[in-house]
Structure 1
Amino acid sequence: MDLDIQGLRVLVTAGAAGIGLEIARSFVREGSKVHVCDVDDAALASLLTSDPDLTQSRADVASRSDVSRLFDEALQGLGGLDVLVNNAGIAGPTARVDEVDPEDWDRTLSVNITGQFNCARLAVRHLRESGNASIVNLSSAAGRFGFPLRSPYSAAKWATVGFTKTLAMELGPLGIRVNAILPGVVEGERIRRVIGSKAAARGISYEEMENELLRHVSLRTAVTPQQIADQIVFLCSPRGRTISGQAIAIDGDTQSLA
């Protein structure tokens, strides 16, 4: 399928590794120009050899000064902006709510939802000049279910859905589409850390915790970063031109995270 996105100008936050890197690479394969940011210096350095087509910045999306510099550098490299993918997020603490360190709560929300605001507010004036403009915000299955022992993360991911639907209404008249992606259990190092933390908190084995998570997935399998990237690239192409305000689950039909 020809998605007709050659030359599309894309900014992906936390794009030096994991899901973000797969998203960036998927756009590049379709002929788009992509700028990524990350806080992982080693991951950014590795891109210079593994993905030389990507331009990059070091930026923490929770820092407004970092985000301001990021947009200056991204726009200089891309020559404009058609797509913002708000991918940056952290897992946050694993603990009962009365045991969560308030600083951990603040940091989780600062990155996972305020970071999306920090980027979106600067993107709008550039996206409105595009003929094919999109914002994609990464939420989670935790953005439609409760997630025991992960209250900061779940709260932020629910907020992402509300933020997305509101922006779709505000920005639709400007020709900017806004959607949220809600991954479930995603293969990779991050989910392994999450499963390990929850297993330790509950006093069960890693295998028991993993099996419990997948038991709530109808397809009994995790999803891959590539499957998430495929959906995002489609949404941002002209073929997704009337899809906006949606919270799209890519989760194997997850029924619960409890």
Structure 2
Amino acid sequence: MSEQRVVLVTGAGGGMGREVSARYAANGDRLVLVDLTRESLDRAAEEVRATWPELDLLLVPADVSQPESVRDLAEQVREWAGRVDVLALVAGVLQQANRVTEIEIEEWDFVNNVNVRGVFLMAKHFVPLMPKGGGSSIVTIASWYGHSGHGYFAAYCASKAGVISLTQSLADELAEDRIRVNAVCPGNIDTQMHRNALQAEADARGIAFEEMRDIEWAKIPLGIAGPPGSIADAVEFLSSEKASYITGASIDVNGGVLFR
């Protein structure tokens, strides 16, 4: 077996996904980058190859919420590498702020299908490709909103609570195979998705983006939305030997917005 790990990152085209991908590239791992479109994957690959031109890289557009898409992804990875040592399941979506009575069924399904069903499908099809006996790891991305319900974000909160519970179930099931499964629970992270949400709220209130940003960031004890690299730090740690006795955990990276 090659000494290089095979690491698969979903949501690799987003802010957190690109940071996570770069972290594993720096470690010399072989990478499978997954996102919904080829364009976003090409941009992500261009970024990492600018620093690591010799990187062994597979790009696969896939929809993690769709069984056939994930099944095809698993087959491509099987043919390319024969195994996966680390699953970094970063892909996720937000919802439009809305009352439960006003959320469209389609949006509820979309949010839960990507955020929870996507983790389920990735585990279902990739756990059989993960070596047993130690060293293999799954890291999911939940949220501090998964630990408590918040008005106007019922779909998102429910989905991220589901990710935490599913992570714990997987950790229990896979412990006998020495495959560790943990979650990272971000607070507000300064990604484009976060800024888009701030802009949408600013537009709804008729105020400037900067004013909306300052209002929201003032709610964070550390005073800012976290850099995407802070999530990459946690993901990398949980999949490393330094976390060899950690499984079923949900690690808070939230700037102090929730203590538990």
How high is the TM-score relative to the length of structure 2?
A: 0.89
1:151-190 aligned at under 5 Å gives the runs: 151-190=154-193
Whole-Å separation in 2 of the counterparts to 1:46 and 1:238: 30
1:106-117 aligned at under 5 Å gives the runs: 106-117=109-120
Whole-Å separation in 1 of the counterparts to 2:144 and 2:37: 25
Query: RMSD over aligned Cα, in angstroms?
Result: 2.0
1:1-258 aligned at under 5 Å gives the runs: 7-52=4-49, 53=55, 54-129=57-132, 131-201=134-204, 205-255=208-258
Whole-Å separation in 1 of the counterparts to 2:197 and 2:155: 14
Q: Deviation at 1:201?
A: 4.6
DSSP 3-state at the match of 2:18 = helix
Whole-Å separation in 2 of the counterparts to 1:82 and 1:125: 11
Whole-Å separation in 2 of the counterparts to 1:155 and 1:244: 22
Superposed CA offset, 1:167-216 (max 9, x none)? 11111111011100011111121101112233445565534432332233
Q: Deviation at 1:130?
A: 5.9
Whole-Å separation in 1 of the counterparts to 2:174 and 2:119: 15
DSSP 3-state at the match of 1:218 = coil
| Partner AA of 1:55 in structure 2 | L
Superposed CA offset, 1:35-89 (max 9, x none)? 0111123212334543343311010001100001111112322331111111111
Q: Percent sequence identity over matched residues?
A: 31
How high is the TM-score relative to the length of structure 1?
A: 0.90
Q: Deviation at 1:128?
A: 4.1
Preserved contact between residue 94 and residue 149 of structure 1 (Cα < 8 Å): yes
| Partner AA of 1:193 in structure 2 | N
Preserved contact between residue 38 and residue 60 of structure 2 (Cα < 8 Å): no
| Partner AA of 1:182 in structure 2 | C
| Partner AA of 2:18 in structure 1 | L
DSSP 3-state at the match of 1:97 = coil
Superposed CA offset, 1:114-171 (max 9, x none)? 0100001112222243630111110112112323322111110111111111111111
Residues 146 and 69 of structure 1: CA distance in aligned 2, closer, same or farther (over 3 Å): same
Q: Deviation at 1:254?
A: 1.1
| Partner AA of 2:21 in structure 1 | A
| Dislocated runs of 4+, deviation >3 Å | 47-52, 128-131, 198-209
User: Between Structure 1 and Structure 2, how many residues are aligned?
Assistant: 252
| Partner AA of 1:162 in structure 2 | S
Runs (5+) with no aligned partner, structure 1 = none
DSSP 3-state at the match of 1:36 = strand
129-138 or 179-188, which deviates more: 129-138
Whole-Å separation in 1 of the counterparts to 2:102 and 2:203: 15
Preserved contact between residue 82 and residue 130 of structure 1 (Cα < 8 Å): no
DSSP 3-state at the match of 1:98 = coil
